Amino acid sequence: MSGRASALLLSPPVFQSSISSGLRFHVKIAVVGCGAVGSYYGAKLARAGHEVHFLLRADYETVRRQGVLIHSPAGDFQVRPRCAQSPGEIGVAELVLIGLKSTANERFAELLPPLVGPATAVLTLQNGLGNEQQLARLFPVAQVMGGLCFVCLNRVAPGVIRHLGYGQVVLGEIQRPSDRRTSDLAASFREAGVACTVTENLARAHWEKLVWNIPFNGLGVASAAGFDAFVRPSGDSGPSALEPHPSTPGECLTTDKLLADGRWARLVRELMLEVIAAARTLGYDVPEAFADQQIENTRTMGAYRASTLIDFERGQPLELQSLFLEPLRQATRAGVAMPRLATLCGVLENLKRTGPLTR
């Protein structure tokens, strides 16, 4: 048996023992990607008593002086994590928490090795598909974990995060079942006030999250092109006839506006059903009723601005690859047609070139 294969049978022992009794042990945690997600969960873990280091760039001076402030319906709080501008300042951690946008994954090889030792667990909380696999090309599979965040968050200023609701994290291992390390880490999140569960099928959990992410992150941005960007050529009513049409960027729609307009609401549901059909073909038994459940849950969020919409309005790179193109690629390879997603990808590519409307 090769060294890499045998590593699959092991959990990093130091990390496992460090958190095996919840908060009776303080874990050294490095947060890489301190936007809304990384800052929120890093702050929760810091408040629980863990030794949390934030790897920062533009926000370094502000966070170093003022700490991180979380505004939340559950109660505001402020923490002062240890701040660093380079991974070498932090050194090897027991847990590396990745909150980077997937558009920055090419920096993994630069940022992560100084933080990762033989016993380090590397947990990505990123959106979309393929992030864990990219990490597994740098580190043994046994050290890589995936996490899905079901939370409404916005970064409103350097070091200031607005938590609007929800917050659950779902943890899973890749290419192997969960074990004591997984359950212990979940327990530590719960001790920090984060609802956290463990999935035995991380890939299915990713596809379940895509049921929400693809329509609401995607159409929140694509709505800037107007509904006419999603058209069918005259005389052809088949779904495969959908074609993206370039247009001048306009207003991006929040989740409540997407659901309030019958045309957009239908497209939301159609995209959800495409994602579910692809997931089922790939062997993940996601029921069609899951789409309606997600829509009803979204109605409770009010005027929520999904992260991709915020990135677009700020002129930042969009997570096209992990959130849209990779799911489409996997579905196409499995023989599943996703015409609405294909059109959405085309609209997003057009908007990526034109940029947001300047007001």
Residue 209 annotated in active site: yes
Question: How far is CA 185 from each of CA 17, 122, 195, 293, 345, rounded to the nearest angstrom?
Answer: 11, 12, 12, 28, 36
The residue among 83, 190, 169 whose CA lies nearest residue 125 is 169
The residue among 90, 79, 73, 87 whose CA lies nearest residue 40 is 79
The residue among 166, 168, 121, 165 whose CA lies nearest residue 146 is 121
Residue 57 DSSP label: S
Q: What is the CA radius of gyration of the chain?
A: 21
End-to-end Cα separation, the chain, in angstroms: 61
The residue type at 219: L
28, 44, 101, 209: which is the annotated catalytic residue? 209
Cβ burial, residue 189 (10 Å; 0-12/13-18/19+): buried
Rounded to the nearest angstrom, the gap between the alpha carbon of residue 233 and the centroid of all alpha carbons in its chain is 35
Instruction: Write the DSSP string, 173-195.
Output: ESSS---HHHHHHHHHHHHTT--
Active site residues: 209
